[in-house]
Structure 1
Amino acid sequence: MSWMTGSKHAMIRRLIPWVLMTNIMLVLHSLSYTNQVTIRVSQEETCALSVSKSLQQSKAMLSPSSKSEECSPKGNIMFMKTHKTASSTILNILFRFGEKHKLRFAFPDGRNDFFYPSPFLCSQVKDYEPGECFNIVCNHMRFHQEEVAKLLHPDAVYVTILRNPADLFESAFHYYHRAVPLTWGISGENKLAGFLNNPGAFYSPEAFNSFYLKNLQFFDFGFDNNLDADDPQIDAGIQYLSSHFHLVLIAEHFEESLILLKDLLCWSMEDILYFKLNVRKSSFVSQLDPEMRAKALQWNWADWKLYQHFNATFWVRVEAYGRERMKRDVKELRRRNAEMKAICIQGKNAVEPRDIKNSRFLPWQPIGEKSILGYNLRQDIDPKFRTICEKMLTPEIQYLSDLGVNLWITRLWGWLKDKIY
């Protein structure tokens, strides 16, 4: 009986942070919702309308025939940040470019996402006023195109990234399953296999945080993640995204994706240099055998259809870019990244959280474990590279703070998480 008592105590202990955090978030959501309604009632002005009025009033507006055809860097960007897709690395690239060129970010207020998983609203943006224009929107949200468009210039480029749903499910399950109470009852060491062998026993659409464990990418884009595999709404959703996004990156072909992004935005190779951020320690990664991979794809059918569609369009873009040209550019990107690793990183590789010497470079860790790797800055770094190296190594939470975002809700949750687990 003692083991049963201990098990009950452990369960109660695990529930405490979620009870606390849920109540805190409900209060905050209620307060923020009141503000959102007030703003939306009178919201007639949008960024696009403001820009249109400005152009009409400008006597210096160029005629189409006199505009330069030369490619110039684009700075009006919507990056739809999806979960567990290497999107944090893209975020760092955008932060650096925007900071360098003094662009205006639409940031959340109090936390690092736009009140996810609630659908995005303009009023969730820090210092938002109707008619305000922003250059870059890139933090986690549940996509709502009509609301996002109100913030951005009409020429904004829409970009996102997808990952093979089997690998994404494996990553999301390990990262979030402690935040999904229904999974706590899975027995055995291989909880992922236990879930996939009988998902109905550990999943309910209405359960707390259940969206993390089924069609997470489809959910991130604002769609119903519990549709039947043959539901026509899945194809309709895919076509909707096709009509609104200018480029969909593929995580498994990250370097090729960055080259296409560079070409689309007319950026330089220097602008897309990167270090992989939020990478898990290999011992925490489950290798899916063919049976488990097939079950993961069947369970995440909407994500699989989404991925197949945009993986196909991705390779059409690569062909149009030129295979040989792509090979040359990827080779150059790898060379430049290797140079930056040698310049910036102590030991040239990522290390475990306990070995990170400066908390500035310590990534956010999932509940109950320290599995996300980070970096140490070289101690003998050349002073002329210190600033760029520090920025390339800085995780999302710390970079947002550097950019002036008040993350008190995120930090409160981090404090609770670390104290209780």
Structure 2
Amino acid sequence: MMRTSTRYIVVLAFCLISIVALYILNDNIDKERERGKNSRPELKFQSEGDKDGEQQEYKGQKNRKQSGKRTKTQYAMKNSNSGNECTPKKDIIFTKVHKSGSSTVQNIFLRYGDKHDLTFVLPPMGHHLGYPNYFNKEKHMLHTKDEKYNIFCHHARFSPDVTEVMPKDSVYISIVRDPVDVFESAFTYFKIDYRMGKVDNPQALSIFLSNPEKYSKSMRNTVHTRNNMLYDYGIPAETFNDEAKLQSAIDEISEKFSLIIIGEHFEESLILLKDLLCWTLEDVVVFRLNARNENSVTKLSEQDRERIRDWNKGDVMLYKHFNQTLWQKIARYGRDKMAAEVDKLHKLTNRYYKNCVQSDHALNGDADFDVWEPRGVKINGFILKEEAKANPVCERMVKPEVLYTEELRRKQFGTNIPRRGQLRKRGIQKRFNPNQNQRYA
């Protein structure tokens, strides 16, 4: 009996020792795993595709010391200008300015927000947030349940409602371009010749510039006929002949916006954008979208170019101001460093282009995505390489704004989108009405 009891005690003690040993072993394994996580030599961020259409890793900061649980700072990147750690910005207001290259920049924000599942301010239908009227948050957008939004990047005439809808710490960004090119492009694209009664007259632009005040006053709708960029920033038309008020308005824009991209210095602007938002170089790679075919561009005489500057004096002031501030930012950034970053962006863009694009001069019917074209105006589209057609990264980079907006609307709201009849009851127009009485003066 004693032998049996002793045997039971020995077996029980052995089991207890085994359990304790197993617990200690597992605890040591967990600690070792945790140490392994916290001693990784570098952070890696997912890039959007290499030449095979597969994702590759973009190596972030090396040898970062990490300890404890992961926090936001462990995923922070380094600001290439200051060298300090920063967190990627996600709350962005991009004021889209007509005929300035803004559709190209918008694609950067559409892709980034789509990739990171951010929330957009979206129109109930189409791709305009109430334009050409001032943006109205009650009429011109679809509302989420929590009323929280990350990105505002669709065509809208800037108003205080933009600021009210978006987070207080949003980053304000926009774009301007040489006013001569903006005016010529708008005149052609928005068929100002039709409003003048000079349909398809190749001299319509010169005729308009011979007496712009006379022709603009004869039009029922004068949107896109003077100071187009200032109009999109929400500057009242009544100020267009008052240089002091124009300068005051430009100063207000300068105070509110952190970066105004210059179309003629696009790549340098993208480097500053990347640095401002603490994004990767891949995030700002982009192809030129919604560009007119060269046959649809009006050749201007020097006389007409000077007349455009005189008639659009406000836009000229705006452009000169922000062109100057851009070069001040580049000087602070460092010109040699800027040249090196632009070279990297060139190479990366060329790699994406080589892997994705077969042609960027395709017309509707041949392009992978048709784009809206005004009568008599041809817009260049893209044909993707066969091996890139199934690559979502390549597809998003060439997807037209109208189609991308529709897809984001379905992604964000599903089937819970008002029908046209409901929109009419709320006073929302189906599309831009060319006969609206929108006068500058």
Match of 1:390 among 388, 395, 400: 395
**Structure 2 partner of 1:377:** 384
Secondary structure of 2:172 counterpart = strand
Q: Output the CA distance in 2 between the equivalents of 1:228 and 1:81.
A: 20
**Structure 1 partner of 2:161:** 147
Aligned-pair CA distance for 1:125: 4.9
What do the CA deviations read for 1:7-64 (whole angstroms, capped 9, x no partner)?
Answer: xxxxxxxxxxxxxxxxxxxxxxxxxxxxxxxxxxxxxxxxxxxxxxxxxxxxxxx9xx
Residue identity opposite 1:214 in structure 2: R
Q: Does 1:363 align with 2:363?
A: no
What do the CA deviations read for 1:192-231 (whole angstroms, capped 9, x no partner)?
Answer: 1111112133212x84331211001111111123535443
Match of 2:174 among 160, 166, 169: 160
**Structure 1 partner of 2:91:** 76
Q: Output the CA distance in 1 between the equivalents of 2:282 and 2:356.
A: 15
Match of 1:331 among 343, 354, 364: 343
Aligned partners of 1:351 and 1:373 also within 8 Å: yes
Q: Output the CA distance in 1 between the equivalents of 2:397 and 2:240.
A: 42
Q: Output the CA distance in 2 between the equivalents of 1:396 and 1:188.
A: 30
In structure 2, do the counterparts of structure 1 residues 169 and 288 end up closer, same or farther at CA, with 3 Å as the change threshold?
Answer: same
1:238-253 aligned within 5 A: 238-253=250-265
Runs (5+) with no aligned partner, structure 1: 1-61, 415-421
What do the CA deviations read for 1:273-298 (whole angstroms, capped 9, x no partner)?
Answer: 11100010101112222211110000
Secondary structure of 2:132 counterpart = coil
Secondary structure of 2:224 counterpart = helix
Q: Does 1:183 align with 2:196?
A: yes
Q: Does 1:282 align with 2:260?
A: no
In structure 2, do the counterparts of structure 1 residues 399 and 346 end up closer, same or farther at CA, with 3 Å as the change threshold?
Answer: same
What TM-score results when the alignment is normalised by the length of structure 1?
A: 0.75
Q: Does 1:103 align with 2:118?
A: yes
**Structure 1 partner of 2:47:** none
Residue identity opposite 1:171 in structure 2: S
Secondary structure of 1:237 counterpart = helix
In structure 2, do the counterparts of structure 1 residues 200 and 152 end up closer, same or farther at CA, with 3 Å as the change threshold?
Answer: closer
Residue identity opposite 2:210 in structure 1: N
Q: Does 1:236 align with 2:248?
A: yes
Q: Output the CA distance in 2 between the equivalents of 1:137 and 1:382.
A: 29
Q: Output the CA distance in 2 between the equivalents of 1:350 and 1:242.
A: 36
Kindly indicate which of the two structures has a greater share of residues assigned to helix: 1
> If you compute each CA radius of gyration, which structure gives the higher value, 1 or 2?
2
Match of 2:319 among 288, 304, 307: 307
Q: Output the CA distance in 1 between the equivalents of 2:252 and 2:155.
A: 20
RMSD: 2.7
Secondary structure of 2:223 counterpart = helix
Q: Output the CA distance in 2 between the equivalents of 1:133 and 1:397.
A: 23
Aligned-pair CA distance for 1:411: 12
What TM-score results when the alignment is normalised by the length of structure 2?
A: 0.72
**Structure 2 partner of 1:172:** 186
Match of 1:132 among 137, 141, 147: 147
Aligned-pair CA distance for 1:115: 1.1
**Structure 1 partner of 2:130:** 115
Q: Output the CA distance in 2 between the equivalents of 1:182 and 1:100.
A: 42
Aligned partners of 2:188 and 2:377 also within 8 Å: no
Secondary structure of 1:160 counterpart = strand
Q: Output the CA distance in 2 between the equivalents of 1:355 and 1:413.
A: 27
Aligned-pair CA distance for 1:355: 2.6
Runs (5+) with no aligned partner, structure 2: 1-70, 78-83, 411-416, 421-427, 433-441
Number of aligned pairs? Answer: 339
Match of 1:88 among 79, 103, 126: 103
